[in-house]
Protein backbone atom coordinates (compact mmCIF):
# COMPACT_ATOMS: atom_id res chain seq x y z
CA UNK A 1 0.00 0.00 0.00
CA UNK A 2 0.88 3.62 -0.25
CA UNK A 3 2.15 3.67 3.33
CA UNK A 4 4.69 0.90 2.80
CA UNK A 5 8.17 2.20 2.26
CA UNK A 6 9.98 0.98 -0.87
CA UNK A 7 6.86 -0.60 -2.21
CA UNK A 8 7.60 -2.32 -5.48
CA UNK A 9 4.46 -4.37 -5.71
CA UNK A 10 2.52 -4.21 -8.95
CA UNK A 11 -1.00 -2.83 -8.83
CA UNK A 12 -4.02 -5.00 -9.50
CA UNK A 13 -7.52 -3.63 -9.76
CA UNK A 14 -10.92 -5.16 -10.15
CA UNK A 15 -14.43 -3.76 -10.25
CA UNK A 16 -17.38 -5.87 -9.23
CA UNK A 17 -20.90 -4.97 -10.24
CA UNK A 18 -23.37 -5.23 -7.39
CA UNK A 19 -25.98 -6.51 -9.80
CA UNK A 20 -26.64 -10.03 -8.58
CA UNK A 21 -26.06 -12.61 -5.90
CA UNK A 22 -22.69 -14.33 -5.58
CA UNK A 23 -22.67 -18.04 -6.27
CA UNK A 24 -20.75 -21.09 -5.12
CA UNK A 25 -19.26 -21.11 -8.61
CA UNK A 26 -17.84 -17.60 -8.33
CA UNK A 27 -16.54 -18.41 -4.85
CA UNK A 28 -14.70 -21.66 -5.68
CA UNK A 29 -13.66 -20.49 -9.12
CA UNK A 30 -12.41 -17.03 -8.17
CA UNK A 31 -13.10 -15.16 -4.92
CA UNK A 32 -11.57 -17.86 -2.69
CA UNK A 33 -8.21 -17.20 -4.32
CA UNK A 34 -8.28 -13.41 -3.99
CA UNK A 35 -7.06 -12.92 -0.41
CA UNK A 36 -3.71 -14.55 -1.27
CA UNK A 37 -3.13 -12.05 -4.08
CA UNK A 38 -2.45 -9.27 -1.59
CA UNK A 39 0.93 -10.82 -0.84
CA UNK A 40 2.07 -10.25 -4.38
CA UNK A 41 0.09 -7.21 -5.51
CA UNK A 42 -1.35 -3.95 -4.26
CA UNK A 43 -4.98 -4.83 -4.72
CA UNK A 44 -7.92 -2.49 -5.29
CA UNK A 45 -11.47 -3.85 -5.33
CA UNK A 46 -14.50 -1.66 -5.73
CA UNK A 47 -18.25 -2.09 -6.00
CA UNK A 48 -18.93 -0.68 -9.47
CA UNK A 49 -22.25 0.99 -8.69
CA UNK A 50 -21.77 3.67 -11.38
CA UNK A 51 -21.65 0.89 -13.96
CA UNK A 52 -24.67 -0.85 -12.51
CA UNK A 53 -27.10 1.98 -13.23
CA UNK A 54 -26.51 1.62 -16.98
CA UNK A 55 -29.30 -0.90 -16.54
CA UNK A 56 -32.36 0.25 -14.58
CA UNK A 57 -32.14 -0.66 -10.87
CA UNK A 58 -34.39 -0.59 -7.87
CA UNK A 59 -32.64 1.97 -5.59
CA UNK A 60 -33.20 0.15 -2.29
CA UNK A 61 -32.05 -3.12 -3.85
CA UNK A 62 -28.92 -1.53 -5.29
CA UNK A 63 -28.00 -0.06 -1.92
CA UNK A 64 -28.59 -3.38 -0.16
CA UNK A 65 -26.64 -5.39 -2.70
CA UNK A 66 -23.70 -2.98 -2.68
CA UNK A 67 -23.30 -3.29 1.08
CA UNK A 68 -24.00 -7.02 1.13
CA UNK A 69 -21.41 -7.59 -1.52
CA UNK A 70 -18.82 -5.55 0.30
CA UNK A 71 -19.53 -7.51 3.50
CA UNK A 72 -19.47 -10.83 1.63
CA UNK A 73 -16.08 -10.14 0.08
CA UNK A 74 -14.71 -9.30 3.49
CA UNK A 75 -16.26 -12.48 4.89
CA UNK A 76 -14.49 -14.41 2.11
CA UNK A 77 -11.20 -13.16 3.50
CA UNK A 78 -10.53 -9.88 1.71
CA UNK A 79 -8.98 -7.92 4.55
CA UNK A 80 -9.62 -4.17 4.28
CA UNK A 81 -6.19 -3.48 5.72
CA UNK A 82 -4.38 -5.60 3.11
CA UNK A 83 -6.58 -4.50 0.20
CA UNK A 84 -8.23 -1.23 -0.76
CA UNK A 85 -11.98 -1.91 -0.68
CA UNK A 86 -14.32 0.86 -1.71
CA UNK A 87 -17.51 1.91 -3.42
CA UNK A 88 -17.01 3.47 -6.84
CA UNK A 89 -19.47 6.36 -6.39
CA UNK A 90 -17.57 7.44 -3.26
CA UNK A 91 -14.57 8.40 -5.36
CA UNK A 92 -15.74 11.20 -7.69
CA UNK A 93 -12.52 10.99 -9.71
CA UNK A 94 -13.99 7.97 -11.54
CA UNK A 95 -16.79 10.05 -13.03
CA UNK A 96 -14.47 13.02 -13.58
CA UNK A 97 -11.84 11.10 -15.49
CA UNK A 98 -14.53 9.20 -17.39
CA UNK A 99 -15.77 12.50 -18.84
CA UNK A 100 -12.30 13.42 -20.07
CA UNK A 101 -11.73 9.95 -21.52
CA UNK A 102 -15.09 10.14 -23.29
CA UNK A 103 -13.51 12.86 -25.37
CA UNK A 104 -10.65 10.54 -26.33
CA UNK A 105 -12.80 7.55 -27.16
CA UNK A 106 -14.23 7.16 -30.62
CA UNK A 107 -17.84 6.52 -31.54
CA UNK A 108 -16.70 3.79 -33.92
CA UNK A 109 -14.71 2.02 -31.22
CA UNK A 110 -17.62 2.01 -28.82
CA UNK A 111 -19.97 0.76 -31.53
CA UNK A 112 -17.87 -2.36 -31.91
CA UNK A 113 -18.16 -3.43 -28.28
CA UNK A 114 -19.90 -6.78 -28.13
CA UNK A 115 -21.25 -6.14 -24.64
CA UNK A 116 -22.96 -2.96 -25.82
CA UNK A 117 -24.57 -4.87 -28.66
CA UNK A 118 -25.69 -7.68 -26.34
CA UNK A 119 -27.04 -5.37 -23.68
CA UNK A 120 -28.87 -3.19 -26.21
CA UNK A 121 -30.67 -6.25 -27.44
CA UNK A 122 -31.61 -7.25 -23.89
CA UNK A 123 -32.63 -3.73 -22.83
CA UNK A 124 -34.16 -2.47 -26.05
CA UNK A 125 -36.32 0.02 -24.12
CA UNK A 126 -33.34 1.64 -22.39
CA UNK A 127 -30.36 1.95 -24.72
CA UNK A 128 -28.95 4.93 -22.85
CA UNK A 129 -25.74 6.87 -23.45
CA UNK A 130 -24.18 5.42 -20.28
CA UNK A 131 -24.52 1.94 -21.66
CA UNK A 132 -22.72 3.11 -24.77
CA UNK A 133 -19.86 4.94 -23.02
CA UNK A 134 -19.48 2.33 -20.28
CA UNK A 135 -16.01 1.34 -21.57
CA UNK A 136 -14.72 4.90 -21.06
CA UNK A 137 -15.82 4.76 -17.42
CA UNK A 138 -14.18 1.37 -17.02
CA UNK A 139 -10.99 2.75 -18.57
CA UNK A 140 -11.10 5.61 -16.04
CA UNK A 141 -11.48 3.08 -13.18
CA UNK A 142 -8.36 1.29 -14.29
CA UNK A 143 -6.16 4.20 -15.37
CA UNK A 144 -6.75 6.30 -12.24
CA UNK A 145 -4.76 3.78 -10.20
CA UNK A 146 -2.02 3.22 -12.77
CA UNK A 147 -2.96 -0.46 -12.59
CA UNK A 148 -0.55 -3.02 -14.00
CA UNK A 149 -3.05 -5.85 -14.07
CA UNK A 150 -6.77 -6.23 -14.45
CA UNK A 151 -8.10 -9.71 -13.75
CA UNK A 152 -10.80 -10.39 -16.30
CA UNK A 153 -13.00 -13.11 -17.61
CA UNK A 154 -13.65 -13.65 -21.29
CA UNK A 155 -16.57 -11.19 -21.29
CA UNK A 156 -14.46 -8.22 -20.15
CA UNK A 157 -11.35 -8.73 -22.30
CA UNK A 158 -12.55 -6.36 -25.00
CA UNK A 159 -13.03 -3.64 -22.38
CA UNK A 160 -9.45 -3.96 -21.16
CA UNK A 161 -8.33 -3.87 -24.78
CA UNK A 162 -10.14 -0.57 -25.44
CA UNK A 163 -8.76 0.79 -22.16
CA UNK A 164 -5.26 0.08 -23.48
CA UNK A 165 -6.11 1.84 -26.73
CA UNK A 166 -7.46 4.89 -24.92
CA UNK A 167 -4.40 5.05 -22.63
CA UNK A 168 -2.02 4.72 -25.54
CA UNK A 169 -3.85 7.40 -27.53
CA UNK A 170 -3.81 9.80 -24.58
CA UNK A 171 -0.13 9.12 -23.84
CA UNK A 172 0.83 9.66 -27.45
CA UNK A 173 -0.62 13.18 -27.27
CA UNK A 174 0.41 14.22 -23.76
CA UNK A 175 3.37 12.06 -22.77
CA UNK A 176 3.44 9.26 -20.24
CA UNK A 177 0.37 9.96 -18.15
CA UNK A 178 -1.12 6.48 -17.86
CA UNK A 179 0.31 3.05 -17.22
CA UNK A 180 -1.01 0.80 -20.01
CA UNK A 181 -2.55 -2.17 -18.16
CA UNK A 182 -2.36 -5.85 -18.99
CA UNK A 183 -5.23 -8.25 -18.68
CA UNK A 184 -4.48 -10.78 -15.95
CA UNK A 185 -5.70 -14.29 -16.58
CA UNK A 186 -6.06 -15.82 -13.12
CA UNK A 187 -4.81 -19.36 -12.55
CA UNK A 188 -7.79 -21.62 -13.17
CA UNK A 189 -9.86 -22.25 -10.10
CA UNK A 190 -12.56 -24.87 -9.97
CA UNK A 191 -15.05 -24.73 -12.83
CA UNK A 192 -18.37 -25.35 -11.16
CA UNK A 193 -21.29 -26.47 -13.29
CA UNK A 194 -25.04 -26.33 -12.67
CA UNK A 195 -26.31 -29.03 -10.31
CA UNK A 196 -29.26 -29.75 -12.57
CA UNK A 197 -27.67 -29.24 -16.01
CA UNK A 198 -24.04 -30.20 -15.40
CA UNK A 199 -23.06 -29.39 -18.98
CA UNK A 200 -23.54 -25.64 -18.43
CA UNK A 201 -21.82 -23.34 -15.99
CA UNK A 202 -23.38 -22.69 -12.58
CA UNK A 203 -25.04 -19.33 -13.06
CA UNK A 204 -27.36 -17.02 -11.17
CA UNK A 205 -29.37 -16.68 -14.36
CA UNK A 206 -29.99 -20.42 -14.49
CA UNK A 207 -33.71 -20.95 -15.08
CA UNK A 208 -33.74 -23.81 -12.64
CA UNK A 209 -33.01 -22.35 -9.20
CA UNK A 210 -31.96 -25.78 -7.99
CA UNK A 211 -28.98 -25.70 -10.32
CA UNK A 212 -27.32 -22.78 -8.60
CA UNK A 213 -26.07 -22.54 -5.02
CA UNK A 214 -25.67 -19.04 -3.59
CA UNK A 215 -22.83 -17.94 -1.40
CA UNK A 216 -25.16 -16.71 1.33
CA UNK A 217 -27.71 -19.50 1.13
CA UNK A 218 -29.05 -21.28 4.21
CA UNK A 219 -27.34 -24.62 5.00
CA UNK A 220 -30.62 -26.57 4.77
CA UNK A 221 -31.31 -25.17 1.29
CA UNK A 222 -27.79 -26.03 0.18
CA UNK A 223 -28.22 -29.57 1.40
CA UNK A 224 -31.55 -29.95 -0.35
CA UNK A 225 -30.08 -28.77 -3.66
CA UNK A 226 -27.20 -31.22 -3.45
CA UNK A 227 -29.51 -34.11 -2.58
CA UNK A 228 -31.44 -33.32 -5.78
CA UNK A 229 -28.32 -32.88 -7.93
CA UNK A 230 -28.28 -34.73 -11.24
CA UNK A 231 -25.80 -37.62 -11.32
CA UNK A 232 -26.13 -40.02 -14.22
CA UNK A 233 -28.48 -42.52 -15.62
CA UNK A 234 -26.13 -45.45 -16.02
CA UNK A 235 -26.44 -48.55 -13.91
CA UNK A 236 -22.96 -48.33 -12.50
CA UNK A 237 -23.96 -45.99 -9.70
CA UNK A 238 -20.46 -45.45 -8.47
CA UNK A 239 -18.39 -42.35 -7.74
CA UNK A 240 -15.89 -42.29 -10.58
CA UNK A 241 -14.36 -39.29 -12.36
CA UNK A 242 -15.50 -39.49 -15.98
CA UNK A 243 -16.51 -35.98 -17.10
CA UNK A 244 -17.68 -37.09 -20.56
CA UNK A 245 -19.88 -39.98 -19.50
CA UNK A 246 -20.85 -38.72 -16.06
CA UNK A 247 -20.70 -34.91 -16.05
CA UNK A 248 -22.98 -34.60 -13.01
CA UNK A 249 -20.81 -36.87 -10.88
CA UNK A 250 -17.64 -35.19 -12.14
CA UNK A 251 -19.04 -31.80 -11.17
CA UNK A 252 -19.88 -32.99 -7.66
CA UNK A 253 -16.37 -34.43 -7.38
CA UNK A 254 -14.90 -31.11 -8.55
CA UNK A 255 -16.85 -29.28 -5.89
CA UNK A 256 -15.94 -31.79 -3.19
CA UNK A 257 -12.30 -31.61 -4.21
CA UNK A 258 -12.24 -27.79 -4.30
CA UNK A 259 -13.74 -27.59 -0.82
CA UNK A 260 -11.81 -30.39 0.92
CA UNK A 261 -8.56 -30.33 -1.05
CA UNK A 262 -8.89 -34.08 -1.69
CA UNK A 263 -7.82 -35.53 -5.05
CA UNK A 264 -10.23 -37.41 -7.33
CA UNK A 265 -8.46 -40.67 -6.45
CA UNK A 266 -8.96 -40.07 -2.78
CA UNK A 267 -12.60 -39.23 -3.33
CA UNK A 268 -13.18 -42.38 -5.39
CA UNK A 269 -11.67 -44.45 -2.58
CA UNK A 270 -13.62 -42.65 0.10
CA UNK A 271 -16.94 -43.45 -1.58
CA UNK A 272 -16.12 -46.88 -2.93
CA UNK A 273 -19.22 -49.08 -2.78
CA UNK A 274 -21.29 -46.30 -1.28
CA UNK A 275 -23.45 -44.99 -4.14
CA UNK A 276 -24.87 -41.55 -4.82
CA UNK A 277 -27.28 -41.66 -1.89
CA UNK A 278 -24.28 -41.24 0.39
CA UNK A 279 -22.12 -39.14 -1.92
CA UNK A 280 -24.57 -36.33 -2.72
CA UNK A 281 -25.42 -35.39 0.89
CA UNK A 282 -21.72 -35.64 1.76
CA UNK A 283 -20.90 -33.01 -0.86
CA UNK A 284 -23.81 -30.90 0.40
CA UNK A 285 -22.46 -31.13 3.96
CA UNK A 286 -18.94 -29.97 3.12
CA UNK A 287 -20.28 -27.10 1.02
CA UNK A 288 -22.72 -26.03 3.76
CA UNK A 289 -19.89 -26.21 6.33
CA UNK A 290 -17.61 -24.20 4.08
CA UNK A 291 -20.20 -21.47 3.40
CA UNK A 292 -21.68 -21.30 6.92
CA UNK A 293 -18.94 -19.07 8.40
CA UNK A 294 -19.07 -16.80 5.32
CA UNK A 295 -22.81 -16.40 5.68
CA UNK A 296 -22.57 -15.75 9.41
CA UNK A 297 -19.71 -13.29 9.08
CA UNK A 298 -21.53 -11.43 6.28
CA UNK A 299 -24.60 -11.09 8.48
CA UNK A 300 -22.50 -9.98 11.43
CA UNK A 301 -20.78 -7.32 9.32
CA UNK A 302 -24.07 -6.06 7.91
CA UNK A 303 -25.39 -5.58 11.43
CA UNK A 304 -22.24 -3.71 12.43
CA UNK A 305 -23.10 -0.67 10.37
CA UNK A 306 -20.57 1.59 12.07
CA UNK A 307 -17.69 -0.74 11.26
CA UNK A 308 -18.79 -1.27 7.67
CA UNK A 309 -18.95 2.48 7.27
CA UNK A 310 -15.41 2.85 8.63
CA UNK A 311 -14.26 0.30 6.07
CA UNK A 312 -15.76 2.01 3.05
CA UNK A 313 -14.82 5.46 4.28
CA UNK A 314 -11.19 4.48 4.75
CA UNK A 315 -11.22 2.63 1.45
CA UNK A 316 -12.55 5.69 -0.36
CA UNK A 317 -9.93 7.89 1.27
CA UNK A 318 -7.06 5.64 0.30
CA UNK A 319 -8.42 5.25 -3.22
CA UNK A 320 -9.07 8.99 -3.64
CA UNK A 321 -5.53 9.84 -2.67
CA UNK A 322 -4.10 7.88 -5.60
CA UNK A 323 -6.97 8.62 -8.00
CA UNK A 324 -6.79 12.39 -7.48
CA UNK A 325 -3.09 12.43 -8.23
CA UNK A 326 -3.77 10.97 -11.66
CA UNK A 327 -6.79 13.19 -12.22
CA UNK A 328 -4.83 16.36 -11.40
CA UNK A 329 -2.16 15.38 -13.87
CA UNK A 330 -4.76 14.75 -16.57
CA UNK A 331 -6.55 18.06 -15.94
CA UNK A 332 -3.27 19.88 -16.22
CA UNK A 333 -2.26 18.07 -19.40
CA UNK A 334 -5.50 18.79 -21.24
CA UNK A 335 -5.32 22.48 -20.31
CA UNK A 336 -7.77 23.08 -17.48
CA UNK A 337 -6.97 26.06 -15.25
CA UNK A 338 -5.72 24.82 -11.91
CA UNK A 339 -7.36 26.01 -8.72
N1 LIG B 1 -17.36 -4.19 -16.27
C2 LIG B 1 -17.00 -5.11 -15.23
C3 LIG B 1 -18.03 -6.24 -15.18
O4 LIG B 1 -19.16 -6.05 -15.56
C5 LIG B 1 -16.94 -4.44 -13.89
C6 LIG B 1 -15.90 -3.39 -13.86
C7 LIG B 1 -16.12 -2.04 -13.82
C8 LIG B 1 -14.50 -3.57 -13.88
N9 LIG B 1 -14.95 -1.38 -13.79
C10 LIG B 1 -13.92 -2.28 -13.82
C11 LIG B 1 -13.68 -4.71 -13.91
C12 LIG B 1 -12.54 -2.11 -13.83
C13 LIG B 1 -12.30 -4.52 -13.94
C14 LIG B 1 -11.74 -3.24 -13.89
O15 LIG B 1 -17.70 -7.31 -14.71
Sequence-ordered list of residues with C-beta below 8 angstroms from that of 92, at least 6 positions apart, any chain: none
Name the packing angle between helices 157-174 and 305-334 (round to 10°): 40
Q: For the chain, where are the E strands, in sequence order?
A: 10-16, 41-47, 83-87, 149-151, 182-184
> 205 to each of 23, 121, 220, how far by Cα in Å?
11, 17, 22
CB 203 within 8 A of CB 194: yes
Q: What separation in Å is there between the alpha carbon of 159 and the centre of ligand 1?
A: 8
Mutate which of 153, 156, 181 for ligand 1? The one with the most ligand atoms within 8 Å of its CB, which is 156
**How far is ligand 1, taken at its centre, from the CA of residue 152, in Å?**
8
> What's the pLDDT at 178?
98
What pLDDT sits at residue 203?
87
Torsion of CA 88, 94, 98, 100, to 10 degrees: 170
Q: Which pLDDT score, from 0 to 100, does residue 6 have?
A: 60
Please give the distance, rounded to the nearest whole angstrom, from the Cα atom of residue 177 to the centre of ligand 1.
21
Residue pair 127/116 in contact by the 8 Å Cβ criterion: no
pTM (two decimals): 0.92
Q: Ligand 1, closest atom to CA 51?
A: 7
pLDDT at 143: 98
**Ligand 1 midpoint to CA 45 (Å):** 10
pLDDT of residue 186: 83
Of the residues 12, 13, 17, 88, which should be mutated to test ligand 1's pocket, given the most ligand atoms within 8 Å of the CB?
17
CA of 223 to the centre of ligand 1 (A): 33
Q: How far is the CA of 17 from the centre of ligand 1 (A)?
A: 7
Q: Reply yes or no on whether 10 is catalytic.
A: no
Contact (Cβ atoms closer than 8 angstroms) between residue 212 and residue 204: yes
Contacts of residue 203, Cβ cutoff 8 Å, sequence gap at least 6: 23, 25, 194, 211, 212
pLDDT at 232: 79
> How many CB atoms are located within 10 Å of the residue 190 CB?
19
Choose which residue among 14, 15, 94 to substitute to test ligand 1 binding: the one with the highest number of ligand atoms within 8 A of its C-beta.
15
Find the catalytic residue in 9, 157, 179, 204.
Answer: 204
Give, for all 339 residues of the chain, the pLDDT tens digit: 445 556 689 999 999 999 888 999 999 988 999 999 999 999 999 999 999 999 999 999 999 999 999 999 999 999 999 999 999 999 999 999 999 999 999 999 999 999 999 999 998 999 999 999 999 999 999 999 999 999 988 889 999 999 999 999 999 999 999 999 999 988 777 899 999 999 999 988 777 889 999 999 999 999 999 999 999 766 678 899 999 999 999 999 999 999 999 999 999 999 999 989 999 999 999 999 999 999 999 999 999 999 999 999 999 999 999 999 999 999 999 999 998
Of 32, 119, 225, 280, catalytic? 119
Can 119 be counted among the known catalytic residues?
Answer: yes
Residues with C-beta less than 6 Å from any ligand 1 atom: 13-15, 17, 48, 51, 138, 141-142, 150, 156, 159
Assign a CATH topology to domain 209-298. Tyrosyl-Transfer RNA Synthetase (1.10.240)
* Ligand 1 atom at shortest distance from the alpha carbon of 48: 7
Catalytic residue among 157, 179, 201, 325: 201
Distance between CA atoms of residues 329 and 134, nearest Å: 23
Q: What is the pLDDT of residue 254?
A: 95
For 167-182, letters b (16+ CB in 10 Å) and e give bebbeeebeebbbbbe
pLDDT at 5: 54
Assigned CATH class of 10-190+305-334: alpha beta
CA-to-CA dists, residue 132 to 141, 158, 159, 213, 271, angstroms: 16, 14, 12, 33, 52
Would you say 256 and 262 are in contact if contact means Cβ atoms under 8 Å apart? Answer: yes
Nearest CA residue ID for atom 10, ligand 1: 15
Burial of 210 (0-12, 13-18, 19+ CB in 10 A): middle
Residue nearest to atom 8 of ligand 1 (CA): 15
Residue spans of the domains in the chain: they are 10-190+305-334, 209-298
Backbone angles phi, psi at 240, to 5 degrees: -140, 140
Amino acid sequence: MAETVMDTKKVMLSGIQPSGELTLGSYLGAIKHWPARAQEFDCYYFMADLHTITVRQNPAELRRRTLTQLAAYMACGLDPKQNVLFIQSHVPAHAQLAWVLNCYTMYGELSRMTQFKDKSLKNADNINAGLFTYPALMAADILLYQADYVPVGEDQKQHVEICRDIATRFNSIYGDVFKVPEPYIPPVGARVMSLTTPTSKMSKSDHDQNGCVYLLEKPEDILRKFKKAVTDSDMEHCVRYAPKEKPGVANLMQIYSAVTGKSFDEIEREFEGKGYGVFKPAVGEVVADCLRPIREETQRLLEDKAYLETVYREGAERASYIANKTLRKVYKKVGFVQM
